[in-house]
Amino acid sequence: MDELQIGDISIAVTKKNIKNMYIRVLPPDGKIQITAPHSAGDDAIRMFAVSRISWIKKQRKNFKEQARQTKRKYVTGEGYYVWGRRYRLDVQYSNVRNVVRISGGNLVLQVRRESTPLQRENILNEWYREQLKQKIPVVLEKYEKIVGVHCNEWKIKNMRTKWGTCNIEKKRIWLNLQLAKKSPQCLAYVITHELVHLLERKHNQKFRVYMDRFFPNWTVIKEELNHQTLDYFENLSSPSSL
């Protein structure tokens, strides 16, 4: 069964080599995914989905009401976030070089006059990447000591469905480029979350106990992260909660 229909709700079903069933509702449009063990029958999957209908509807309502930026044109006057603070974009033209810098309450983007929105987006994203590259090593080192584990490698990717991921076997962490737009404590939370997965793979009670120990206010920061203004992603899902 690749898809399950319950009333007017369509649910994508994927089977994997796991023990328990999981359900996710992805923003921005509330797409629903169930991941189930290979041994799970169609009836069991349907019953599981039916039992979560109220929760599904609540999540979809939250996504619909959540603030979201409009489609970006990369012109003067648009608002962009850097480490949780909103800046006014100031596009300046130059044939010398591309530059991004913060000046007071403005995020200055210096580009060629003929540059396209896509080119301007790429320039800004590279700048955001550099902001993350500067902060990640410091934050990672701090929380590696707190959690008592070591990450072999970290990378940055502009992900649409996760704030971070962890390859437990290789001890490699991927962090979402969009975190450069969120408050610094959100980056600390996501890094801690992924490091804790090196101790506990699942989001179970043991995982939550670890998070309480290593990042006491994690539930508050998690709520903050998942309710901050979302970026515009055309025909793509934006980051889901951790």
Contact 176, 159 (CB under 8 A): yes
CB atoms within 10 A of CB 224: 16
Q: Is pLDDT at 67 greater than 80 in this prediction?
A: no
Question: Which residue type is seen at 77?
Answer: G
pLDDT of 240 above 90: no
Q: Could you give the domains of the chain? A: 3-65 (no CATH), 79-227 (3.30.2010.10)
Question: What's the pLDDT tens digit per position in 96-143?
Answer: 999 999 999 999 999 999 999 999 999 999 999 999 999 999 999 999
Q: pLDDT tens digits, residue range 20-57?
A: 888 888 755 678 889 999 999 999 999 999 998 988 88
Beta-ladder partners of 37: 16
Q: Tell me the angle at which helices 53-65 and 42-51 cross, rounded to the nearest 10 degrees.
A: 60
Cα 171 to Cα 50, 83, 119, 132, 152, distances in angstroms: 37, 26, 34, 19, 5
Task: For residues 136 and 154, give the distance between their C-alpha atoms in angstroms, rounded to a whole number.
Answer: 9
Backbone angles phi, psi at 52, to 5 degrees: -110, 15
C-alpha–C-alpha distance, residues 93 and 107, integer Å:
14
The model's pTM is: 0.72
Integer Cα distance of 128 and 145 in angstroms:
26
